[in-house]
């Protein structure tokens, strides 16, 4: 559940901060021209996250009671905005909320070290701030807050939240810069202890888009393994946003994802390759063989399925995997 400055409830999974920004997101979806976003700086957004138990021994964050998910809801800010995020703990464990990439004081650090935890049945408000780039007095630049970040528990099991993260207490945090292009679709993939969003093939997430839609991918690393995120049929620019501002920008289709690291990029669905069933997966061979594989279905521009695609997808779902030792069966291995 999200509450704006006027006190109105806004039940949105992806939380766009500021009425002007939300309007801009709707009007500018898919635009190829860098637009200025109205009312993009200043203002405070109040968000409530509920931590809840989920089937399969998982725990997730949600915007309303009974709406928890893994990963949790994506929270979006624009540089210059502030968020006051209230965490309501409905679980029987002490947990917290820690954010990467934004500004906060010690009271909002979200760690046991700074007494930033939430006991069972209690709640706590964390304040996150963002800022635009500026030149320091010494002539150097502060790069601002814009980026693809994430939030997670930092208390359950250990002082680093090892058990909370393993069970699904994490989500994406996007800070945009004024003029950033807005996506039509947004997908979050968390590579966590050998899983994709705490699932394995064939139960891993299947994402869909129409040919030509602007798709934003957010990749987050957690756990104890090194992964490499690879998307079939698509490439992106190795920049803050994933799209190029000049033709000399390096282009990639795979990127290393260390635990605690996050990045994002935007692509046009099916650009240069057409519709189809495109895999995304970890390119560490042992991890892919063990089920770190998902599907990105690019449909025709009118939303229809290309001939034979449905049958092809069903055939792909029969692909067998070999779980690695120590992987929890509750995460959804199908074969």
pTM: 0.85
100-111 burial code (b ≥16 CB/10 A, e <16): ebbebeeebbbb
Report the pLDDT value the prediction gives residue 321, as an integer from 0 to 100.
Answer: 84
Is the domain of 134 the same as that of 253? no
Report the pLDDT value the prediction gives residue 3, as an integer from 0 to 100.
Answer: 45
The 3-state secondary structure of 168-203 reads CCEEEEEEECCCCCCCCEEEEEEEECCEECCECCEC
CATH assignment at residue 192: 2.60.40.420
Report the pLDDT value the prediction gives residue 10, as an integer from 0 to 100.
Answer: 39
Residues in the chain with pLDDT < 50? 1-13, 17-40, 329-335
Is the domain of 85 the same as that of 201? no
pLDDT in tens, 43-100: 999 999 999 999 999 999 999 999 999 999 999 999 999 999 999 999 999 999 999 9
Which residue intervals of 74-146 are DSSP H helices? none
Report the pLDDT value the prediction gives residue 41, as an integer from 0 to 100.
Answer: 52
Report the pLDDT value the prediction gives residue 188, as an integer from 0 to 100.
Answer: 98
Alpha carbon distance 295, 187 (integer Å): 12
Is the domain of 169 the same as that of 189? no
Count the domains in the chain.
2
Is the domain of 130 the same as that of 222? no
Report the pLDDT value the prediction gives residue 296, as an integer from 0 to 100.
Answer: 97
Range of the domain at 112: 2-176
Report the pLDDT value the prediction gives residue 11, as an integer from 0 to 100.
Answer: 40
Is the domain of 299 the same as that of 163? no
Report the pLDDT value the prediction gives residue 326, as an integer from 0 to 100.
Answer: 60
């Amino acid at each position: 559940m999200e509450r704006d400055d006027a006190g109105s409830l806004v039940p949105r999974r992806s939380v766009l901060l500021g009425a002007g920004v939300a309007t801009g997101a709707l009007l500018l979806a898919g635009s190829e021209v860098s637009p200025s976003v109205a009312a993009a700086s200043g203002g405070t957004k109040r968000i409530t996250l509920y931590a809840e138990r989920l089937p399969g021994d998982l725990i997730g964050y949600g915007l309303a009671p009974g709406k928890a998910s893994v990963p949790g809801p994506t929270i979006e800010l624009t540089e210059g905005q502030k968020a006051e995020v209230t965490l309501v703990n409905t679980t029987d464990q002490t947990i917290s909320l820690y954010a990467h990439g934004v500004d906060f004081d010690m009271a909002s650090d979200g760690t046991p070290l700074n007494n930033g935890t939430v006991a069972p049945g209690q709640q706590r408000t964390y304040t996150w701030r963002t800022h635009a780039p500026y030149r320091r007095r010494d002539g150097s630049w502060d790069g601002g807050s814009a980026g693809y970040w994430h939030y997670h528990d930092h208390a359950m099991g250990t002082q680093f939240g090892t058990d909370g993260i393993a069970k699904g207490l994490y989500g994406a945090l996007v800070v945009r810069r004024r003029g950033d292009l807005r996506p039509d679709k947004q997908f979050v993939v968390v590579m966590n202890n050998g899983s994709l969003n705490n699932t394995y093939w064939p139960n891993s997430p299947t994402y869909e888009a129409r040919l030509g839609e602007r798709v934003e991918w957010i990749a987050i690393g957690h756990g104890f393994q090194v992964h490499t995120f690879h998307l079939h049929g698509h490439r992106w620019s190795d920049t803050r946003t994933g799209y190029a501002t000049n033709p000399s920008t390096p282009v990639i289709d795979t990127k290393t994802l260390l635990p605690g690291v996050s990045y994002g990029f935007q692509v046009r669905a099916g650009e240069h390759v057409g519709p189809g069933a495109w895999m995304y997966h970890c390119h560490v061979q042992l991890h892919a063989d063990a089920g770190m594989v998902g599907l990105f279905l690019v449909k025709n521009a009118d939303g229809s399925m290309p001939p034979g695609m449905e049958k092809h997808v069903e055939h792909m779902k029969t692909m067998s995997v070999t779980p690695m030792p120590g992987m929890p069966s509750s995460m959804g291995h199908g074969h």
